[in-house]
Amino acid sequence: MNNILEIKNLSKHYEGFSLNNISFSVPQGYIMGFIGPNGAGKTTTIKLILNMVCPDSGEIALFGENTTSNSSEIKNDIGVVMDLPFYVEDWKVKDVEAAVSPFYSHWNSNVFDNYIHKFNIAKNKKVKELSRGMKVKLMLAAALSHDAKLLVLDEPTSGLDPVARDELMDILGEFVTDENKGILFSTHITSDLEKIADYITFIIDGRIEFTGEKDKLLESYLLVKGGLSDLTTEQKKCIVGYREHSVGFEGMIKTDNIKQLPFDTAFEKISLDEIIIYMNKEAKGHE
């Protein structure tokens, strides 16, 4: 299986925040969910991939080619969608097309028109007059109209209502029916990824906590709940993000560690959201 995107030992240091030795890959034909709390380093990683920012060390390879040789041709095969539109706010749809189409080798005007029509984007409105959902769909229409193989989305669903989110996820599902394409989807709204993502990379405080199959991640942790006096201090150490309240405790535990806890402790399957929450609690708890 080929990797559309490969990141190896990427590092970038800012004052107050560092991305440390990040490595992960997006295999061809799959959706990689890139999750983590706000400020974890998702956007910084994406900026590094797009060459908006220079890495301090590490390598990025797109479609097998190392990008540090700065080849911009590769952007022909990448479609980008962000949470905020990067178009001039006074542009209309035709201005957007006139602005970007000359740069792409495979721009297809018909495909673009079809998406504009399908998304119901008003052609006579300026970008600033479009609703948030429409702005995202406009970027998506452009991203899908030049035969891109990799879609990179940075928090596209934040601020979207459930209907718009569902429509977006539908289009992404359509995109990967072609096994030569791939998606890197960065978000802090993990419910979008819960069912559709194939792989998950989980980043927190600038380092990768997990990267691999989503099912494996969900199977490797469990939610655990019990009474206040149920656990010994030793046992409490197994619990990630341990939280006590007046009528009990809750936390997350690695599935392998269940046997260390009392027989009648309550366990539950965990969601991606909860994994982030408890990991974050654990990380903050050590500060």
Partner 1 sequence: MNRTLSFTKLDYITIKPYLTLKNILIFVLVFAFIGYGTGDSSAMIGMLMMYSTIYASYPFAVGDKNGIDTLYATLPIAKKNIVAGRYIFALCLNVCVCAISLIASAILMTALGKRFSWGETLITILICFAFFSILEALQLPIYFKLGYAKAKFLAYLPLAAFPAAVMVISIFVGKDSFSAFIESMFSWIQANDFYAAAFIVIIWFLIMLFSGLLSYRFYKKRDF
Partner 2 sequence: MKIIILNTAGIPIYEQIKEQIKTAIYSGELAEGEMLPSIRQLARDLKISVITTTRAYNDLEQEGFIANVQGKGCFVKPKNNELIREQALRDIENGFASAITAAKNAQISKNELYNIFEVIAKEEAYE
Residues that bind partner 2 (CB under 8 A): 29-31, 169-170, 173-174, 176-177, 179, 195-199, 213-215, 269
**Residue from 17, 66, 68, 84 that binds partner 1 (CB under 8 A)?**
84
Nearer to partner 1, 90 or 256 (CB): 90
Q: Encoding tokens for residue 200?
A: 């998950």
**Contact partner, 54, from partner 2, partner 1, none, Cβ < 5-8 Å per class:** partner 1
- Least distance to partner 2, CB of residue 30, Å: 6
Nearer to partner 1, 47 or 243 (CB): 47
* Binding residues among 90-149 for partner 1 as defined by CB under 8 A: 90-91, 95, 98-100, 102-105, 126
- Cα(43)–Cα(24) distance, integer angstroms: 15
Q: Are strands 207-213 and 221-226 parallel, antiparallel or unpaired?
A: unpaired
Residues 7-46: x where in contact with partner 1 by CB under 8 A, - otherwise, as a string: ----------------------------------------
**Contact partner, 223, from partner 1, partner 2, none, Cβ < 5-8 Å per class:** none
- Least distance to partner 1, CB of residue 46, Å: 10
For 244, counting Cβ atoms within 10 Å of its Cβ (0-12 exposed, 13-18 middle, 19+ buried), the class is exposed
- Cα(86)–Cα(129) distance, integer angstroms: 14
Sequence-distant (6+) residues with CB within 8 A of 152 are 46, 49, 50, 78, 79, 80, 81, 183, 184, 186
- Cα(111)–Cα(264) distance, integer angstroms: 58
Note whether 76 binds partner 1 by CB under 8 A: yes
Interacting residues with partner 1 (CB under 8 A): 47, 50-54, 70, 72-76, 78-80, 82, 84-91, 95, 98-100, 102-105, 126
